[in-house]
Amino acid sequence: MKHRFTIFALIVLALLSYALYQALVVAPTEQTMGDVQRIFYYHVPSAWTAFLLFFINFLASIWYLVQRKPAADIVALTTAEVGTVFCTVVLVTGPLWARPVWGIWWTWDVRLTSTLVLWLIYVSYLILRRFSTGSQTPVLAAALAIFGFVDVPIVYLSIWFFRTQHPQPVMGGGGSLDPRMWHALLINWLAFLAFALLVCSIRYRLEFLQRELEETQALESLLEPKP
Amino acid sequence: MSRLAEITVATLSKDLRLEWRSKDAINSMLFFALLVVVIFSFAFNPTAEESRRIAGGLVWVAFLFAAVVALNQTWARELRNQVLDAYRVSPAPDNALFLAKAIGNFLFVAVLEALMTPLFVVFYNLRALGPAYQLLLVAAFGTWALVVNGTFFAAISLRTRSREVMLPLILFPISIPALLAMVEATTAILTGEFSARFWIVLLAVYDVVFTTVCLVLFETVLHAE
């Protein structure tokens, strides 16, 4: 167990360094934006990783409601936590790029706004988990996770229509990406995914031990009443 | 089916009678909404033309905040004397309880809206330039969108620490598309500049989707141990 973890951590480290090299050195400099564009190799992979983790959170929540396995609940908790962190990275790196390129930090564009709403939904999920007590937390959290996931397409649709009515500066779609840029992007995504998996597994283990500890303590206090 | 309807009606009429006698929810909602109207008016001090543009937002934000006041009291009433636990062990269908509570909240918020709308019209000099009858549709779909999720989330927040604070924290993020649709539809009708049809359809879809999810999941949440 310990060996496997160390090996996996080393692989992730190697992948992340290789991806960093690809993004900062190998990928060509973008013509109009210059080096600022390189933030793209962190921004986009973080977004994809966050969306994937939220999707796993949804599946784990359903799995928990159907089978009531504690493992499903721990998976839901860890993916929501790590996904929120990656979503935060997306929301922070976005404005850093937008300021020099668009001249503004933020615009209520459909992608920006729906990512922000997604972030709000999962933060509220984590707050609910923090504030609810006792053994019913997993059920309540799983129900909220399903609501949140069902809400996402409606959010996207509504903001998309909202924005087409009120034209705003939006990011330039279209155009083709240099193959080396694609390469750097995909390598970075792979590295970020592996990193997310690593963090999730650490968090999973931690939560698992925490719960075991709590159970043992509860059992002990039942068995040996203190004088 | 008839059994579900029977118990729904029984629970609903009990709640309405309780509310009629105490007037707890409606009074606190009304006063709260009135305060919001007055404070917004001071904060923005709009002209008639401006207020037509911002009224959709003001009205719905006021109703949303006021609705939370009523939603928070939905289940608290059932905690006294362990009524909720008694309901849990009784063979009555769980969704009857949920539907009764949601319809009850819908009626409370609808009464609030009916009483507050004239005040808004007077204070903000409103006059619809678009088809005004569509406002009724927006109000009906929009209110249901708020209360159906609100009733469900109130049942969730009931089990948490500081439950009164918890409800808006989990309800508002999920309600963002519904709120956007209500505000945009109202603004569209008041200014008459564009059609509100898309937003009304979106609200209807939102209602159908989340009513289904609520009915599917309510039993699980009610019996969560």
Domain boundaries, chain B: 2-222
pLDDT at B213: 94
Q: State whether A128 and B161 contact (CB < 8 Å).
A: no
Q: Which of A169, A177, A41 is nearest to A99 (CA)?
A: A169
In degrees and rounded to multiples of 5, residue A84 shows phi and psi of -65, -40
Given a cut of 60, whether residue A173 has pLDDT beyond it is no
Percentage of chain B exceeding pLDDT 90: 37
How confident is the model over A30-54, as a mean pLDDT? Answer: 85
pTM above 0.80, yes or no: yes
Q: State whether B177 and A147 contact (CB < 8 Å).
A: no
How confident is the model over B98-112, as a mean pLDDT? Answer: 93
Domain boundaries, chain A: 13-24+36-167+185-209
How confident is the model over B25-31, as a mean pLDDT? Answer: 88
Cβ neighbours of A104 (radius 10 Å): 11
CA distances from B25 to A157, B15, B32, B105, B150 (A): 34, 11, 11, 9, 14
How confident is the model over A16-20, as a mean pLDDT? Answer: 88
Secondary structure of chain A as H, E, C letters: CHHHHHHHHHHHHHHHHHHHHHHHHHCCCECCCEHHHHHHHHHHHHHHHHHHHHHHHHHHHHHHHHHCCHHHHHHHHHHHHHHHHHHHHHHHHHHHHHHHHHCCCCCCCHHHHHHHHHHHHHHHHHHHHHHECHHHHHHHHHHHHHHHHHHHHHHHHHHHHHHHHCCCCCCCCCCCCCHHHHHHHHHHHHHHHHHHHHHHHHHHHHHHHHHHHHHHHHHHHHHCCCC
A→B interface, C-beta within 8 Å: 65, 117, 120-121, 123-125, 127-128, 131-136, 139-140, 143-144, 146-148, 150-151, 154-155, 157-159, 161-162, 165
A140: nearest CB among B149, B198, B221: B221
Where is average pLDDT lowest: A64-78, A99-113, B54-68?
A99-113
B159: nearest CB among A125, A140, A147: A140
Given a cut of 50, whether residue A138 has pLDDT beyond it is yes
pLDDT at B43: 83
pLDDT, one tens digit per residue, over B148-207 is 999 999 999 888 887 788 899 999 999 999 999 999 999 888 888 788 888 999 999 999
User: In sequence order, which residues have a C-beta less than 8 Å from that of residue B43 and are 6 or more positions away?
Assistant: none
pLDDT at A174: 47
pLDDT, one tens digit per residue, over B33-48 is 888 888 888 888 777 7
A129 or A167, higher pLDDT:
A129
Q: State whether A132 and B170 contact (CB < 8 Å).
A: no
- Tokens 């059920």 — which residue? A139
CB pairs under 8 A between A and B: 93
User: Which amino acid does the sequence have at B168?
Assistant: P
Q: State whether B161 and A131 contact (CB < 8 Å).
A: yes
Q: State whether A136 and B209 contact (CB < 8 Å).
A: no
Tokens of B71: 């939603």
Distance between CA atoms of residues A59 and A160, nearest Å: 26
Q: State whether B170 and A144 contact (CB < 8 Å).
A: yes
How confident is the model over A49-72, as a mean pLDDT? Answer: 93
DSSP secondary structure, B114-181, as one string: HHHHHHHHHHHT---SS-TTHHHHHHHHHHHHHHHHHHHHHHHHTTBTTHHHHHHHHHHHHHHHHHHH
Q: Is the ipTM of this complex over 0.90?
A: no
Chain A residues within 8 A of B198 when measuring between CB atoms:
161
Given a cut of 60, whether residue A168 has pLDDT beyond it is no
Chain A residues within 8 A of B194 when measuring between CB atoms:
165
Where is average pLDDT lowest: B41-50, B66-75, B86-95?
B41-50
pLDDT at B196: 83
